[in-house]
Amino acid sequence: MDSKIPKPSFLKKPIGPLSLPGNARLPLTRDLMNLPSANSTMFAKMRLPSPDKRSNGGVVNRAKLRRSRSAIDLNKPDFHRPKFVTTLAPITKGGTINAATVALMASSDLVKPQADTNGARMHLRRSRSACDIAMKSNVSLASSTNSSSTSGASLLTGFKRQPTAGCTNGKVPVVPAKVAKMTTIPPRPGTNAAHSKPSSQKATSSASSTVTATSKKALSHTKPIAGVKNASAAASIKTTSSSAPKTSGVGAKAAVKTMNKRIPSYDYKARFAQLQEKHKALVEKHEKLLEEHASRESLQELYDECSRELSSLKRQHALLQAELQTFRLENEELKQTNLACSTALQQTEAELNKYREKFTVTNQENVELRKQLKELEERSAFLEEENLTLHDTNERNAELLFQANIERKDLHNMVMDLRGNIRVFCRVRPPLPSETNRLECLWKYLDEQSIELMATDGSNKRMDFSFDHVFHPRTTQQDIFDNVSPLIQSALDGYNVCIFAYGQTGSGKTYTMDGVPDSLGVIPRTVDLIFNAVNDYKRFGWEYEIRVTFLEIYNEILYDLLDTSGTTKDLEIRMANAKNKTEVYVSNIIEETVDSTGRLHQLMNIAKMNRATAATAGNERSSRSHAVTKVTLIGTHREKCETCVGSVNLVDLAGSESPKTSTRMDETKNINRSLSELSNVILALVQRNEHIPYRNSKLTHLLMPSLGGNSKTLMFVNVAPFQDCFMETVKSLRFASQVNSCKMQKVKKNKALMGSAVI
Ligand SMILES: Nc1ncnc2c1ncn2[C@@H]1O[C@H](COP(=O)(O)OP(=O)(O)OP(=O)(O)O)[C@@H](O)[C@H]1O
């Protein structure tokens, strides 16, 4: 080679190290590139610490600082210089960065990962030499597809922290999810992003080309905009950085060829030309670095912006987390509430269905009831009309009934009048079981009204007696009362009625009037009849008030049998009306108003207990006084404004007694005298005397209205069937016969009541 190319004469073949004449020396790379010295302020600012510097905590190890390479160094195949590595730790530490940051960082060649997976060389970046540029250009030219697609996968890896020694054990760096999402390249497990398949590279390439369209616009902004705009800016930066090798294109390729061409050491011209090429390449590299530096400045600002945005997002994230927690709690509560409401709703729906069924049934019943109601209303209207008709009819019938009742009273009174105002019933009592040894008279009951008595003196004399009715010994109490009750009806119709029993002691007067518990007499039956009749008369519109008095005449003295106080009151028989001298009343007597049969029976028992009794020859329990039970009936017809007052005097006379057998002469005399006065009055009435001696005895005076006045009188003449009573029996029968023949004046109906007397 030396033979072919002649050496210049002024040049000597260097024996040892290259020596230049005088102060001449080979130009250094720095000189050729016209770069500032290492201690230049501008360059120092632009130069970033190498990975070694970072590993030493920021202390610059000047021993490891690379010197500027000479052309010789550049020609060495294993030449490398520390490449500028951006400090990405603060960015990746936060975990998330915005898309603009990602794009901007990815666009920088300085942060691109090396295809070489050697851990030692991954973090030791070297400066690009002209050879590197040429090699890259060659690579780009050799496979345009691969060169263009590096933006995809390398973009992703460019955002990752550069793998350290600890993470270079063959594991694939993890690509942040947000970055992967933004670049639309899903990381594949076990596959380095730098070694992505061509299909994915094509996809990312298209994404990169799309971003490139807005790159220049994004770069014009000093402060990148977050979001898509930032991504566009980053993409534009990448495009700018990657476009330099492309623009150098063919020239660079020729330069590389020129640089790679081995030049003899003595060919200074060629070497100079080569150096010029290298200088040119370095100048281009310098310009590129300046551009990258400018982009990194914007990247720092972008990083600060992203950091602030990240902090804000973190705060928002924390707030949203708290809010999310609150919402979750509220959601749980709402779920529980919703569950409870659902359960309650189901129950309510079940109850609602039940109520609907009930409603349906009830509605049907309601319809039926409405039909029935309508029918009932029609029926009611019909019945109301019928009721009105019946009411009118009833009123007419009531009027007719009232009139008929009046007519009945009149007719009944006429019958009573026809029968006589003084009627006499004769009753012969049967012998008691204890009286079987007593001889009886010969009786012959001719008919219901006549009786024949045979004389006991042997003369066979027969004595006939006629009365209104004759009752033989077997006559019951009910048969007796059936003949008495018409008189009680007259009392209810407003007439005065007097019923008394006359006869010798032991003849059966008290039995006839009071009776015994097993066989009630006239007085208790009269009471029952009165109350039954009063209830019946209510249908005719009559309301009755019943008053009762119990009086005893003993030894011509009046006693109130209802007075249980023990104090003797002066009871006087007084004239009720001066015009009607036959009407009398008893002063100071207790008059009880009774409203029930029970109360009246209770009062009767009280009166019976207070009555004086004693044993006589003819009766072990002889009534030694005259007992007068008076029942006053006051009827009122409110509609007709009518009032009727009737009375019933029920008199149980003391028994007459022969003075021969009497042990209490005064008592017997008074009894016999009063009975004699009674006979005299009746005889006076029979003989129609002007003077009737009513006042000769208390008994006749008290019975004056009943004997000769406005009264219907019934006298029982009781006789004993025994022969030893023959004389007294004949005496009583004769007296009764005289009474029976007595014709009293026509009885008038009572019209009003004054005090306790009947007018
Ligand atoms: N019809 C009769 N049937 C059955 N026993 C009768 C009848 N009449 C009276 N007696 C009985 O005869 C007895 C005497 O009767 P009661 O006391 O009535 O006579 P009385 O006339 O009242 O006597 P007194 O005047 O002394 O009071 C009583 O034991 C009574 O029970």
Q: Which long-range contacts (CB under 8 A, 24 or more apart) does 684-687 make?
A: 685/742, 685/743, 685/744, 686/738, 686/739, 686/741, 686/742, 686/743
Please name the residues in contact with 329: beta carbons below 8 A apart, sequence gap of 6 or more.
none
176-190, 261-275, 305-319, 459-473, range with the lowest pLDDT:
176-190
Cβ-proximal residues to 667 (8 Å cutoff; 6+ apart), any chain: 554, 555, 624
Please compute the mean of the pLDDT values over residues 189-207 and round it to a whole number.
40
Choosing from 427, 502, 511 the residue with most ligand 1 atoms within 8 A of its CB, the one to mutate for a pocket test is: 511
Mean pLDDT for 404-422 is 78
pLDDT of residue 606: 87
Q: How many Å lie between the centroid of ligand 1 and the Cα of residue 365? A: 73
Share of the chain above pLDDT 90, in %: 19
Measure Cα distances from 174 to 109, 162, 197 in Å.
20, 11, 17
Name the pLDDT band for 615 (thresholds 50, 70, 90): low
Annotated binding site: 503-510
Q: Which residues pair with 627 in a beta bridge?
A: 552, 652
**What are the percentages of helix, strand and coil residues in the chain, rounded to 5?**
55, 15, 35
Asked if residue 286 has pLDDT above 90, the reply is yes
The β-bridge partners of 594 are 546
Each as own residue / partner, the long-range contacts of residues 487-491 (CB below 8 Å, 24 or more positions apart, any chain) are 487/416, 487/423, 487/648, 487/712, 487/714, 488/526, 488/529, 488/530, 488/533, 488/648, 489/412, 489/533, 490/412, 490/413, 490/416, 490/646, 490/712, 491/530, 491/631, 491/633, 491/646, 491/647, 491/648
Query: N- to C-terminal Cα distance for the chain?
Result: 194
Q: How far is the CA of 741 from the centre of ligand 1 (A)?
A: 27
Poorest-pLDDT segment among 120-129, 249-258, 636-645: 120-129
Task: Give the distance (Å) from ligand 1 centre to CA of residue 515.
Answer: 9
Domain range 422-741, CATH architecture: 3-Layer(aba) Sandwich (3.40)
Q: What letter does residue 715 receive in the DSSP assignment?
A: E
Its pTM surpasses 0.80: no
Give the separation between CA 103 and CA 97, rounded to whole angstroms: 10
Q: Which atom of ligand 1 is nearest to the CA of 429?
A: 1
Region of 533 (left: φ > 0; alpha: ψ -120 to 50; beta: rest) is alpha
- As a three-state string, the secondary structure of 335-358 is HHHHHHHHHHHHHHHHHHHHHHHH
Binding residues for ATP: 503-510
**Position 188 confidence tier, pLDDT thresholds 50, 70, 90:** very low
pLDDT at 681: 86
Beta carbons of 101 and 230 less than 8 angstroms apart: yes
pLDDT of residue 333: 93
State both tokens at 490: 């007259």
pLDDT band at 175 (very low <50, low <70, confident <90, very high): very low
Pocket test for ligand 1, best of 425, 428, 429, 475 (most atoms within 8 A of CB): 429
Q: Both tokens of residue 110? A: 């300085």
Q: Compute the distance between CA of residue 678 and CA of residue 738 in angstroms, rounded to an integer.
A: 12
718 CA from centroid of ligand 1 (Å): 9
Average pLDDT over the chain reads: 70
Protein residue closest via CA to atom 2 of ligand 1: 429
The ligand 1 atom at the shortest distance from the C-alpha of residue 501 is 21
Give whole-number Cα distances, 743 to 105, 418, 419, 686, in Å: 161, 11, 11, 6
Q: Which atom of ligand 1 is nearest to the CA of 514?
A: 18
| C-alpha 170, offset from chain centre | 78
User: Six-digit token pair at 533?
Assistant: 């009749």
Q: Token pair for residue 307?
A: 């950091």
User: Above 50 in pLDDT, residue 194?
Assistant: no
Stretch 742-755: mean pLDDT, rounded? 53
Residue nearest to atom 31 of ligand 1 (CA): 511
DSSP-assigned letters across all residues of 540-575: GTEEEEEEEEEEEEETTEEEETT--SSPPP---EEE
How many A from CA of 503 to the centre of ligand 1?
10
Ligand 1 atom with the smallest distance to the CA of 503 is 21
Lining residues, ligand 1, CB within 6 Å: 429-430, 432, 503, 505-511, 616, 619, 622-623, 654-655, 718
Would you state the pLDDT for residue 742? 64
In this structure, the residue with its CA closest to atom 11 of ligand 1 is: 508
Please give the DSSP secondary-structure letter assigned to residue 498: E
Instruction: Say whether 463 sits in a helix, a strand or coil.
Output: strand
Distance 723 CA to ligand 1 centre (A): 16
The atom of ligand 1 lying closest to the CA of 516 is 31
Evaluated on CA atoms 279, 285, 286, 288, the torsion sign reads: positive
DSSP letter string over 300-340?
HHHHHHHHHHHHHHHHHHHHHHHHHHHHHHHHHHHHHHHHH
Least confident piece of the model among 45-49, 165-169, 402-406, 597-601? 165-169
Looking at residues 313-338, what average pLDDT do you find?
Answer: 93
Instruction: Give the pLDDT confidence of 691-735 residue by residue, as tens digits.
Output: 889 889 888 898 888 777 667 889 999 999 888 888 889 988 988
Which of 435, 510, 718 is the pocket-test mutation for ligand 1 (most atoms within 8 Å of CB)? 510
Average pLDDT over residues 191-201: 40
What was the pLDDT predicted at 113? 43
How many residues in total does the chain contain?
A: 759
Q: Residue 646 Cα, ligand 1 centroid: separation in angstroms?
A: 30
Could you tell me which of 732, 693, 739 has the C-alpha nearest to residue 714? 739
Contacts 24+ apart (CB under 8 A), 571-574: 573/698, 573/701, 573/702
Parse the chain into domains and list their residue ranges.
Answer: 314-419, 422-741
Query: Can you tell me which atom of ligand 1 is nearest the CA of 427?
Result: 1
d(CA 740, ligand 1 centre) in Å: 23
Taking the C-alpha atoms of residue 621 and residue 7, their distance in angstroms, rounded to an integer, is: 202
Per-residue pLDDT, 748 = 59
- Cβ-in-10-Å burial (0-12, 13-18, 19+) of 530 comes to buried
pLDDT for the residue 52? 44
Q: Is the separation of the CB atoms in 590 and 704 below 8 Å?
A: no
Instruction: Write the residue with the smallest CA distance to atom 23 of ligand 1.
Output: 506
Question: What backbone phi and psi angles, to 5 degrees, belong to 724?
Answer: -70, -10
Q: What is the pLDDT of residues 566-591, one digit of tens each?
A: 776 788 888 877 776 667 888 889 99
Give the Å distance between the CA of 429 and the centre of ligand 1: 7
Helix H or strand E segment including 422:
strand 422-428
Please spell the DSSP secondary structure of 124-141, one letter per residue: -B-PPPHHHHHHHHHHHH
Q: What is the mean pLDDT of residues 112-131?
A: 43
Spatial distance between the Cα atoms of 642 and 542, rounded to a whole number of angstroms: 9
Q: Which of 426, 474, 476, 507 has most ligand 1 atoms within 8 Å of CB, for mutation?
A: 507
Distance (angstroms) between ligand 1 centre and the Cα of 505 equals 8
Torsion of CA 431, 435, 436, 438, to 10 degrees: -100
